[in-house]
Structure 1
Amino acid sequence: MSFALGFKPPSSAGSSGPGAGGGATMENLEKQLICPVCLEMFSKPVVILPCQHNLCRKCANDIFQSANPAWQSRGSSSMAVSGSRFRCPSCRHEVVLDRHGVYGLQRNLLVENIIDLYRQQESSRVVDVKPEQQQHLMCEEHEEEKINIYCLSCQTPTCSMCKVFGKHKDCDVAPLGSVYTRQKTELSDGIANLVASNDHIQAVISQMEEICRIIEENGQRQRERLADRFDRLVSILEERKQELVGLIAEQQDEKLKRVRSLIRRHGDDLEVAVTLVETAIQSMEEPHMALFIQSANVILEKMAATARPSNMELPELGYERMSHFVIDTDDLAVMLMNIDFCPGVGDDGEDDPEEGGEESELEFCSRY
């Protein structure tokens, strides 16, 4: 269906035409975009509170400043103290801020986009148009007829002549104004539903962001616990190693002490025997028989008292061995390599600190 744009005086005065419904729709939409603090349309940026109500950032900052007079602005050298708070002016829900203050609140980009669209729509509307200057779409097939009905079958605007004599005579039609009003209402409801669904989506996003934060904190806490438990195992192994090494060193020193004592004693005996040999050799050169016999008797007595190799004290057979200091670590090594988290521990959440229970220790099991 083709149609042209023309001018026609309205059939009746007043605000009962399609424009009246559109104005009411835009007015209802504007009410949804009013800040509860300044009572003006939201100014960018628009922030969304944890309770899902919206405020201009400036208004949120003014409320926060009045509730926390000691807090300094973002441009100062000191940051806001984490945990500062104020109450939502719509529902009185307490809003707790982080160290960034109101600048840490998330922007509601959907509301900002709706405001932009609303203002563009308002700027494009014809203001103070006189009734005789109102524009009407004219039918191209019937140039003197304005578009005043809507073909429901073809889903296109048309004129009365097309319905009576034209190609839409067998189609279902409805007054253009009623279709206009109905679709304006549907569009307004769709915008309202979209704004409402945005609040729900924003709440879900905030909830999932909080879940991400808790996951990061729990992961860091469990990593620290895991490292602490392994450090304790390493400490126990190191302590036990020092104890066992000490036992080996103690017996080694004891055996060395005994063998070295025997070496010193036999060394002394050897020195005496060497001296005795030298004395005996010298006595062999004595020319006088009487003196020789006298000195030989003394030397023979000393030789009799000197220890023989067969009578020397020696360490027991295998005394030098240390092979009895043996530990079997194969099973322990396999067990350590199979250390794993115990399945099912903490699944019921009874000891989850986030649920208010006592903080539980990290649990390990071995698959061995």
Structure 2
Amino acid sequence: LNFLRGATMENLEKQLVCPVCLELFSKPVVILPCQHNLCRKCANDIFQSANPLVQARGSSSTASSGARFRCPSCRHEVVLDRHGVYGLQRNLLVENILDIYRQQESSSRVNIKPGRRQQQQLLCEEHEEEKINIYCLSCETPTCSMCKVFGKHKDCDVAPLSSVYMRQKTDLSDGIAILVASNDHVQAVITQMEEICHTVEENGQRRREQLVARLDGLVGVLDERKQELVGLIGREQDDKLKRVRSLIRRHGDHLEAAVALVESALQSIEELHMPMFIQVGEVNSVARDSNMERPELGYENMSHFVIDTDDLADVLRNIDFSPGTCRGTTCGVGHDGEEDPEGDGEESELDLCSRV
């Protein structure tokens, strides 16, 4: 409540200060047509300086008639009558507020100096009318002189409140400066780590692309070699089938000719004529010549098309990054703890090795 009351009185004081002399309005207070207030004496001084030919109050009444007066607050121009500034209307409401304000300030024992604000001191709760002006170092609390002499702080170490105030204010300022510097350092570290995160993301993405490209290249080599080996098997299979089928056709033709010859001989053997026996001799000759060509033993076997991929599978399963790029458990970090450079903006070759 004391704080709110002090703030209200301070705002009221600002409204009661003359814009010319910067002091509280002095009676009588005049009000201009533009609704701005100022002291009558200040208004008369401004009027006299702006109109040097117009005499003071004892001059003729027509001398100031039609003279112009400019408001110091808003520069609004007012045409005065024959009474000059004394013809301006008094603001009785402001005068009454001034009287109430002075009475209130007098009762609260606060003296207001013109043009500045005087800080109000706190009073001791145990000793009325005693201002708190010392600081108990033992209890770490502000107190008054009576508490030190007769009160509960008589055996404590004390110091002037102003010196403790200045010391603590200096310590607080130093602490704020240290905290601000620490915050700046923390922010710099955070910024640096954010940049590291960004760099790690870029390097990781680049390494993943290189790894996928290398392994896709290996897959391409395997696929190409697979096509070649499958082609070898297919060609040998076709050659063997071609030869065997050719022999089958030759044997089939020979068999058909022999069957026809046998049928003809069987028909001729019934004949008692000698030429038929000559034909029988020809059949025997054909029978003796029937040992035709055939594939050698094991010709159908294709077991020689065998590849051993066990070692190659072990090699593929053990593909890893070479020791030159991975040291320990952290890739890209040397034995001295420094990060290996990624190169001068160019993508480095991905080093891979395999351990069997």
State the TM-score, normalized to the length of structure 2: 0.61
Q: Deviations over 1:113-171 (max 9, x none)?
A: xxxxxxxxxxxxxxxx9359743211122112110000111100010011112221221
Q: 1:336 touches 1:366 (CA, 8 Å); kept in 2?
A: yes
Aligned pair in 2 of structure 1 residues 206, 134: CA closer, same or farther (>3 Å)? Answer: closer
Q: Deviations over 1:208-255 (max 9, x none)?
A: 111000000111111111111110111111111111111111111111
Aligned pair in 2 of structure 1 residues 281, 255: CA closer, same or farther (>3 Å)? Answer: same
Q: Which residue of 1 aligns with 2:305?
A: 325
| SS at 1:138 equivalent | coil
Q: 2:124 touches 2:132 (CA, 8 Å); kept in 1?
A: yes
Q: How does 1:133-152 map to 2 (within 5 A)?
A: 134-152=119-137
1:272 paired to 2:257: yes
1:305 paired to 2:286: yes
Q: Which residue of 2 aligns with 1:367?
A: 355
Distance 1:302 1:143 in 2: 158
Aligned pair in 2 of structure 1 residues 276, 140: CA closer, same or farther (>3 Å)? Answer: same
Distance 1:361 1:236 in 2: 19
Q: Which residue of 1 aligns with 2:174?
A: 189
Distance 2:146 2:257 in 1: 151
Structure 2 gap ranges (5+): 6-110, 326-331
Q: How does 1:201-280 map to 2 (within 5 A)?
A: 201-280=186-265
Distance 1:178 1:343 in 2: 67
Report the residue type matching 1:184 in the other structure: K
Aligned pair in 2 of structure 1 residues 221, 357: CA closer, same or farther (>3 Å)? Answer: closer
**How far has the Cα of 1:270 moved from its partner?**
0.2
Q: 2:262 touches 2:283 (CA, 8 Å); kept in 1?
A: no
Aligned residues: percent identity?
69
Q: 2:148 touches 2:156 (CA, 8 Å); kept in 1?
A: yes
| Count of residues paired in the alignment | 238
Aligned pair in 2 of structure 1 residues 248, 312: CA closer, same or farther (>3 Å)? Answer: same
Q: 1:342 touches 1:363 (CA, 8 Å); kept in 2?
A: yes
Alpha-carbon RMSD across the aligned residues, in angstroms, is 2.7
Q: Which residue of 1 aligns with 2:25?
A: none
Q: How does 1:149-188 map to 2 (within 5 A)?
A: 149-188=134-173
Aligned pair in 2 of structure 1 residues 250, 307: CA closer, same or farther (>3 Å)? Answer: farther
Q: Deviations over 1:261-306 (max 9, x none)?
A: 11111111001001101111221343xx33xx21331352244134
Distance 1:248 1:186 in 2: 91
State the TM-score, normalized to the length of structure 1: 0.59
| SS at 1:174 equivalent | strand
**How far has the Cα of 1:190 moved from its partner?**
2.3
Q: Which residue of 1 aligns with 2:17?
A: none
Distance 2:340 2:152 in 1: 76
Aligned pair in 2 of structure 1 residues 351, 138: CA closer, same or farther (>3 Å)? Answer: closer
Structure 1 gap ranges (5+): 8-128
| SS at 1:320 equivalent | coil
| SS at 1:154 equivalent | coil
Bigger CA radius of gyration: 2
